[in-house]
Each structure stands twice: as structure tokens, then as C-alpha cells.
């Protein structure tokens, strides 16, 4: 069997999705889940890009034990140094350094000749190997590069110490046939290719990212890169859960194995979707809600007679269980803790106490607490600790009646600790609430997106609200869940503003920090 390494870039390329803005705690939660999912390498960010990214990558590298944590660097020494500072505490640190190799990028973006690019690439890999035991080198826009130039530069960077050669389809332009052919050519023509492993990294602009990655594997790649739910720049990256399940289901054909724990697939997808606000379409392969729904009578009949007539993937394979145990009003702390442990949460006593209080409050309104509810409570608790003063929603009321103008009254504490109260109207309840919050919050705000979802099913399901807004011209997102849709909406709004305040405080820290330059 051929072993394929899974390289996850949800926290770097995925985080570059428009509108995605994760804080450090959220990144850490995703990293821990990726570890449970069993990825071999996780790209935690771009350490030189900002103080926040640096700290986030460092925290992940210092925490993760079962995967190699990497960070991105441009081919400049200061990026490599920042990456080493962030990653050196990890169990298996590696660098991911890139430079573009296509004529269009070298001429117009880098304004360098091919020979200059070769020299920079070699020098940077050699420099990185002074500290990093493993260095992945990427030929950005490889799929639009000259094949013989690729052969030449790859030989040089392998001689300089590169251990992984990644050939990205940066703009999602290639086709499975062409991409596979490129891998075959490189495998057959690069003299020292046996000293490195070949990696595929595909974008989905033409909807072919997964097919292209598979084609690369068929032609010599032994590492595939991608993101959970396929999030990423523009149309996104290859969806890792699709690749992992495809390799498993078709191992009869590919004879491939990975270290992926497929039973963690759904939970990994749910966590990424919840924290990024990038919702998974119902019909999405492997993790969409309809992936296992057989609607037509003929299909239902077939599945009932023999599941494999129409079902090639079982829900259980990817961690979807219909018989999730439920907790209720009378469940004690012991049962609660036990269930959390089974779900993979290891909590400090303080967090456990906090989670139990939330759980009990929820049981006042909701009879059966499902794993989805626990997942929401726990995710919210683990990702919401800010240690700077921020806005705090004390109470609110909304008056709505058909034929009346909806009116909201909100009381809150501002970051200076002052109590304040306002009332405003709006054409609907949410608008009235948001107009009132806007009047109370001193920053300049513009709401750009608002989404409401239910967690699980049933009339008493938790509501989860996601907002996107600009605060003082900066894009931020906010998220909150509650039994009530208006409360979830209000809290998501306040959460976005608080995240902005936190981000501003972090950036103020960066300006005083000479070591880490913010890159544009």
C-alpha cells in the first residue's frame, strides 16, 4: 500500500477565505480537532504576517503532539526567522517557503528573471535548513510554469535541502489530465527526486481541485494538501474530507492508506463551519446534510433491502450517528463530564464548571440536550475568553406586534465600565435591536451579512447567529448561540464588536514590537 500524507491548510489558505476571521482560541480549537482527525501536517498560519498570526502559530506548535506543525514564509530571511521563532517549540517543526515560478508571476509580480528566482529559492531553502529539520518548498503557480524550468529549479532546491516539493495549481486553472502529466514529468525527469516527496495543492476555481489532487496522486504525489470543507481563497481549496473518504472508499483501486480517522470527519467539518461561518451546502459530498438522505422511493426501497444498493458511504464511517445519547434536566455533573470525555473534550475544572452551568441553564428550556448542543456550548466556552475590557450586554427587550413598529430597548456596559441604555425602532425586530446596539456602541459600524441557523432539529433547537460587519472600516465577524433567535442575534453583533476591540489591541501591541513587521 502507498502511504499518502495529508497536509491541512485550513488555518492558513482556508483562513484566507473572504470574510473568515478566526481568533487565536478558535484556531487552537480547530488545530486540536485536526489532530484528532489525524492529519500529518497542519499549516497553522503565516507567522511573519502579523503579531496575531505569529502568536496563533506558536500556540498551536507548542500544543500539538501528533502532527507536524508548519507555517508559511515568503522567500525572505525575516519570514523564515519569524517562522522558526513561532515553530521551534513544536514536536516536528517544518517550514513552508514559496516563490512563484510561472512566467506571468516572475515577470509581473516578482519582476525577477528565472535565474534570479532560482538563486533566491536555493538560498532561502539552504538558509531555512540551518534551523528547520524539514523544509517544504512550493513553486507558486506551478501549473502555469514551464516544465523544464520546474525540473531545473526543483533539482536546485532539493540539492539545497528541500524535503518536500509542492506544485500548486494556485489559480485553479489546470485539468486532471494536465496536472497528472506535470507530476509524471517531474517524477521522471528530476535527477534527485528520490530525496524529496512530491505534494499536490489545488484550488477549486473550475471545480476540479479534488479531481486534480487525485490525478497528482496517480502520478507520483505522496502528499495532498487541502482544507476542511474546501474553504480557501476565492472558490477554495481541495476538500480534505472528500479526498480522505475517496481514498478510503476506493482503496480497492488506489491501494492507498492514510492516517486519517474518518470517524472524526463530521465533527471536524462542523467545527470549521461553525467557527468560520462558512456553511456547508446541504448537497456537499461527504459532510452535507443530504449526503446520506435517500429521497426517491426506488432508492429508499433499495437501501432498505440492501444498504449497498445506493449507499457507498455509511453515515457512521464519517462520524454521523443517529442514536446520539441525550442528557436532560436530571443529568448530574458526573454524567455530563462523562459525555464530554466521550466526545473528546478534556476540560479544566474551571471550564467544566462553566460548561455545566450553561448546560443546566439550557435544560430549563430544552428537554433533551443532544451532542450537537454540547458541541455548541463547549465550542462557545472554549473560544470566547478575552482578557481586555469590552462591551457587555446586560439585558434587552423587543416589542413586536403585527401592525406596530418594532422597538428595542438595550442595556449594556461599555469598555470603560459605564452602564448605558438606549431604545430604537426598526422595520423588524432584529433591525430594531441592531439599531439600538449601533446607537450604544461608539465605533463606526456597518453590518454586511447576517445569518441564522438552528443547531440540530426540533422546535426547541438552539439558534446560532453569524454576523459580518465592518467596524471602523475593518472587516470582522461575530457569532453566538442561544435558545432565542433575538438573543443569539444580539450577542453575535456584540461579539463582532468585541473581536474588533481585541484585534485593535493586538495590533497596537504589534506596532510597538520591532521584531515582527506587518506585511501587506
| Residue 23 CB contacts under 8 Å (≥ 6 apart), including other chains | 383, 499, 502, 503
Q: How far apart are CA 475 and CA 467, in angstroms?
A: 11
- Distance of closest approach, residue 192 Cβ to Zn ion, in angstroms: 25
* Region 386-445 residues binding ligand KIV, contact defined as CB under 6 A: none
Among 14, 38, 90, 168, binds ligand KIV (CB under 6 A): 168
Partner whose footprint covers residue 219, from ligand KIV, Zn ion, none (CB < 5 to 8 Å by kind) = none
Is the distance from CB of 73 to CB of 83 less than 8 angstroms?
Answer: yes
* Region 347-386 residues binding ligand KIV, contact defined as CB under 6 A: none
Question: Would you put residue 234 in left (φ > 0), alpha (ψ -120 to 50) or beta?
Answer: left
Sign of CA dihedral 14, 20, 24, 29: negative
| Residue 369 CB contacts under 8 Å (≥ 6 apart), including other chains | 326, 327, 328, 331, 359, 362, 363
Give, in degrees to the nearest 5, the angle at Cα 136 between 132 and 140: 140
Is the distance from CB of 496 to CB of 516 less than 8 angstroms?
Answer: no
Residue 271 to residues 39, 137, 314, 338: CA-CA distances in angstroms? 16, 30, 21, 21
Partner whose footprint covers residue 140, from Zn ion, ligand KIV, none (CB < 5 to 8 Å by kind) = ligand KIV
Among 58, 201, 339, 366, binds ligand KIV (CB under 6 A): 201
Q: Is there a binding annotation on residue 40?
A: no
53 binds ligand KIV (CB under 6 A): no
DSSP, res 239: B
Among 170, 215, 223, 383, binds ligand KIV (CB under 6 A): 170
CB atoms within 10 A of CB 387: 7
CA-based nearest residue to 193, from 224, 219, 226:
219
26 binds Zn ion (CB under 5 A): no
Q: Is there a binding annotation on residue 404?
A: no
Residue 43 has φ and ψ, to the nearest 5°, of -90, 110
Record the cell numbers describing residue 266, joined without a space: 463530521
Q: Looking at the DSSP assignment, which residues form a beta bridge with residue 201?
A: 168, 225
- Distance of closest approach, residue 32 Cβ to Zn ion, in angstroms: 23
Which lies closer to ligand KIV via its Cβ, residue 139 or residue 496?
Answer: 139
Is the distance from CB of 239 to CB of 211 less than 8 angstroms?
Answer: no
- Distance of closest approach, residue 201 Cβ to Zn ion, in angstroms: 6
Among 8, 13, 371, 373, binds ligand KIV (CB under 6 A): 13
Among 4, 6, 12, 13, binds Zn ion (CB under 5 A): 13
Crossing angle between the packed helical segments 147-160 and 114-128, to the nearest 10 degrees:
30
- Distance of closest approach, residue 166 Cβ to ligand KIV, in angstroms: 6
- Distance of closest approach, residue 287 Cβ to ligand KIV, in angstroms: 23
- Distance of closest approach, residue 138 Cβ to Zn ion, in angstroms: 9
- Distance of closest approach, residue 13 Cβ to ligand KIV, in angstroms: 5
- Distance of closest approach, residue 170 Cβ to ligand KIV, in angstroms: 3
Binding-site residue total for ligand KIV (CB under 6 A)? Answer: 9
138 binds ligand KIV (CB under 6 A): yes
Give Cα 286 to chain centroid, integer Å.
17
- Distance of closest approach, residue 208 Cβ to ligand KIV, in angstroms: 14
* Region 64-93 residues binding ligand KIV, contact defined as CB under 6 A: 72
Across the beta sheet with 392-399, the strand order is 392-399, 407-413, 419-425
CA-based nearest residue to 452, from 481, 494, 472:
481
Among 26, 79, 122, 140, binds ligand KIV (CB under 6 A): 140
Which lies closer to ligand KIV via its Cβ, residue 199 or residue 489?
Answer: 199
Which lies closer to ligand KIV via its Cβ, residue 138 or residue 477?
Answer: 138
98 binds ligand KIV (CB under 6 A): yes
Which lies closer to ligand KIV via its Cβ, residue 13 or residue 29?
Answer: 13
236 binds ligand KIV (CB under 6 A): no
Q: Is there a binding annotation on residue 255?
A: no
Which lies closer to ligand KIV via its Cβ, residue 237 or residue 407?
Answer: 237
Q: Is there a binding annotation on residue 237?
A: yes
Residues near Zn ion (CB under 5 A) are 13
Q: Point out the annotated binding site for Mn(2+).
A: 13, 201, 203, 237
Residues near ligand KIV (CB under 6 A) are 13, 72, 98, 138, 140, 168, 170, 201, 203
Amino acid at each position: 500500500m502507498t502511504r499518502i500524507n495529508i497536509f491541512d491548510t485550513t488555518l492558513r489558505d482556508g483562513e484566507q477565505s473572504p470574510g473568515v476571521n478566526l481568533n487565536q482560541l478558535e484556531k487552537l480549537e480547530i488545530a486540536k480537532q485536526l489532530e484528532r482527525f489525524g492529519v500529518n501536517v497542519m499549516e497553522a498560519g503565516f507567522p511573519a504576517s502579523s503579531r496575531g498570526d505569529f502568536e496563533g502559530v506558536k500556540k498551536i506548535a507548542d500544543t500539538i503532539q501528533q502532527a507536524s506543525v508548519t507555517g508559511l514564509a515568503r522567500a525572505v530571511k525575516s519570514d523564515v526567522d519569524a517562522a522558526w521563532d513561532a515553530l521551534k517549540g513544536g514536536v516536528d517543526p517544518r517550514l513552508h517557503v514559496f516563490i512563484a515560478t510561472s512566467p506571468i508571476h516572475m515577470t509581473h509580480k516578482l519582476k525577477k528573471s528565472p535565474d534570479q528566482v532560482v538563486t533566491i529559492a536555493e538560498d532561502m531553502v539552504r538558509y531555512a535548513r540551518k534551523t528547520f529539520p524539514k523544509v517544504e518548498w512550493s513553486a507558486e503557480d506551478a501549473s502555469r510554469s514551464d516544465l523544464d524550468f520546474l525540473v531545473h529549479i526543483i533539482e536546485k532546491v532539493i540539492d539545497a535541502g528541500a524535503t518536500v516539493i509542492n506544485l500548486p495549481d494556485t489559480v485553479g486553472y489546470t485539468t486532471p489530465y494536465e496536472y497528472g502529466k506535470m507530476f509524471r514529468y517531474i517524477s521522471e525527469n528530476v535527477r534527485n527526486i528520490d530525496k524529496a516527496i512530491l505534494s499536490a495543492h489545488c484550488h477549486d476555481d473550475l471545480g476540479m481541485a479534488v479531481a486534480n489532487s487525485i490525478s497528482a496522486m496517480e502520478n507520483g504525489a505522496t502528499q495532498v494538501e487541502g482544507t476542511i470543507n474546501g474553504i480557501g481563497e476565492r472558490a477554495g481549496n481541495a476538500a480534505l474530507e472528500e479526498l480522505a473518504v475517496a481514498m478510503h472508499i476506493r482503496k480497492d483501486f488506489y491501494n492507498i492508506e492514510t492516517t486519517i480517522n474518518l470517524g472524526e470527519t463530521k465533527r471536524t467539518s462542523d467545527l470549521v463551519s461553525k467557527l468560520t461561518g462558512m456553511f456547508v451546502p446541504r448537497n456537499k459530498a461527504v459532510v452535507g446534510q443530504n449526503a446520506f438522505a435517500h429521497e426517491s422511493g426506488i432508492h429508499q426501497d433499495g437501501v432498505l433491502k440492501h444498504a449497498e444498493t445506493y449507499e457507498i458511504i455509511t453515515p457512521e464511517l464519517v462520524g454521523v450517528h443517529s442514536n446520539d445519547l441525550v442528557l436532560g434536566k436530571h443529568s448530574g455533573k458526573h454524567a455530563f463530564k462523562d459525555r464530554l470525555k466521550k466526545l473528546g473534550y478534556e476540560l479544566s475544572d474551571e471550564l467544566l464548571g462553566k460548561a455545566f452551568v450553561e448546560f443546566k441553564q439550557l435544560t430549563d428550556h430544552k428537554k433533551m440536550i443532544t451532542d450537537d448542543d454540547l458541541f455548541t456550548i463547549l465550542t462557545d466556552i472554549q473560544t470566547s475568553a478575552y482578557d481586555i475590557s469590552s462591551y457587555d450586554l446586560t439585558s434587552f427587550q423587543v416589542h413586536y406586534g403585527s401592525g406596530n413598529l418594532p422597538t428595542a430597548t438595550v442595556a449594556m456596559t461599555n469598555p470603560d465600565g459605564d452602564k448605558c441604555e438606549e431604545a430604537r425602532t426598526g422595520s423588524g425586530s432584529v433591525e430594531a435591536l441592531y439599531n439600538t446596539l449601533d446607537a450604544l456602541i461608539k465605533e463606526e459600524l456597518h453590518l454586511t451579512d447576517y445569518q441564522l441557523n438552528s443547531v440540530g432539529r426540533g422546535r426547541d433547537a438552539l439558534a446560532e447567529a453569524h454576523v459580518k460587519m465592518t467596524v471602523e472600516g475593518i472587516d470582522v465577524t461575530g457569532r453566538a448561540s442561544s435558545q432565542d433567535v433575538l438573543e443569539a442575534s444580539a450577542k453575535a453583533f456584540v461579539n463582532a464588536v468585541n473581536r474588533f476591540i481585541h484585534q485593535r489591541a493586538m495590533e497596537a501591541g504589534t506596532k510597538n514590537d520591532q521584531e515582527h513587521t506587518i506585511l501587506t
